[in-house]
Structure 1
Amino acid sequence: MTDNNKKILVLGVGNILLKDEGIGVRTVEKLQAEYAFSPNVQLMDGGTLGMALMDPIMLCDRLIVVDAVVNGGDPGTMYRLVGVEMGKSVAFKNSMHQTDLLETLATCKVLGKCPETVVIGMEPKEFDPWGTELTPPVQARLADICQAVLAEIKESGGEFSPIST
């Protein structure tokens, strides 16, 4: 059973000018292009906005962050981090945006409104030199990371359906 009163924010973070560093944003773009979501689900390109994301974060009940996570695995390896794991995990400490995101979440908590949060991350292959395309091993897993995010949305009480073309 779904809970359509629970506000879910899917936040894709990253810099799309640094190849695989943009996996979070590219995931949100793909989901927006291919699915329609229930009114309680919002997808957002968070780019590299950091503290500027406090308002949308504090307005949701469930936060699903999609980001590149460097953890020494093979390119395209996916990670799911929740709660305390985000601060303690080697993977999330190596996230391209961990400092901004952890500081933003900590500030939200101090202000009394920090949503339940999960990070869906993927091991990048390259983020240097500049480039706007995902590398082949990461691009090959784009559909998989989208499915992982859709599963989180469903588990959180959101609904979605493919957009017919």
Structure 2
Amino acid sequence: MTCRVLAIGVGNELRRDDGAGLETVRRLRGQAGLEVREVRGDLSVLAGEWERADRVFLVDAVRSGSAPGTLHRFDAGASPLPAVFARGSTHAIGIAGAVELARALGRLPAALVVFGIEGRDFGHGEGLTPEVERGVAAAVLRIAEETRGA
């Protein structure tokens, strides 16, 4: 079955704020017209996850130096991801690497929007910091709005 709109959350909920992407898509589960996936560890699998989707929202925690909880949005279909998505990843291959590899192989979806939620605490442990909880809530609202407008 072909899905039209897909939200993929990336992260590791055992590294505190690194679970922001996973928590975002969990909160979106059950929304009409939106399929969700969770990806942990090897991000080179992303192209396989989105291969049948027309529009994809990809969500992960980032470390750019912005205030914790800041929601970054970038249209990855239009141009390469900025450095904010490449630096400080807890994954072997980060979001930027996975997206740019898919671009080089001609495997990007028709529309790919990447959301980065600025994290504060990436240490071992569970649960998001309050600032990142607010960033997750903002991401959920934004993706829900953009899904309705699709």
TM-score (norm 1): 0.76
Indicate if the aligned counterparts of 1:75 and 1:137 stay in contact, CA closer than 8 A. yes
Residue 49 of structure 1: how far off its partner (Å) = 3.2
Indicate if the aligned counterparts of 2:8 and 2:39 stay in contact, CA closer than 8 A. yes
Indicate if the aligned counterparts of 2:56 and 2:112 stay in contact, CA closer than 8 A. yes
Choose the corresponding residue for 2:24, options 24, 27, 35.
27
Taking a change above 3 Å as real, the CA distance of residues 73 and 102 of structure 1, as seen in their structure-2 partners, is closer
Structure 2 unaligned spans of 5+:
none
Indicate if the aligned counterparts of 1:28 and 1:44 stay in contact, CA closer than 8 A. yes
* Paired residue type of 2:113: V
Fraction of identical pairs, as percent: 28
Structure 2 CA distance, aligned partners of 1:65 and 1:106?
14
Which deviates more, 18-27 or 96-105?
Answer: 96-105
CA shift digits 1:94-153 (9 cap, x unpaired): 26259443443344345433112111111101001x111001211233321210111222
Question: C-alpha root-mean-square deviation of aligned residues, in Å?
Answer: 2.3
Indicate if the aligned counterparts of 2:85 and 2:95 stay in contact, CA closer than 8 A. no
Residue 65 of structure 1: how far off its partner (Å) = 0.5
Structure 1 unaligned spans of 5+:
158-165
Residue of structure 1 in register with 2:98 after alignment: 104
Taking a change above 3 Å as real, the CA distance of residues 152 and 47 of structure 1, as seen in their structure-2 partners, is farther
Report which of the two structures shows the higher radius of gyration computed on alpha carbons.
1
The alignment of Structure 1 onto Structure 2 pairs a total of residues equal to: 145
Residue 148 of structure 2 aligns to a residue whose secondary structure is helix
Residue of structure 2 in register with 1:161 after alignment: none
Residue of structure 2 in register with 1:42 after alignment: 35
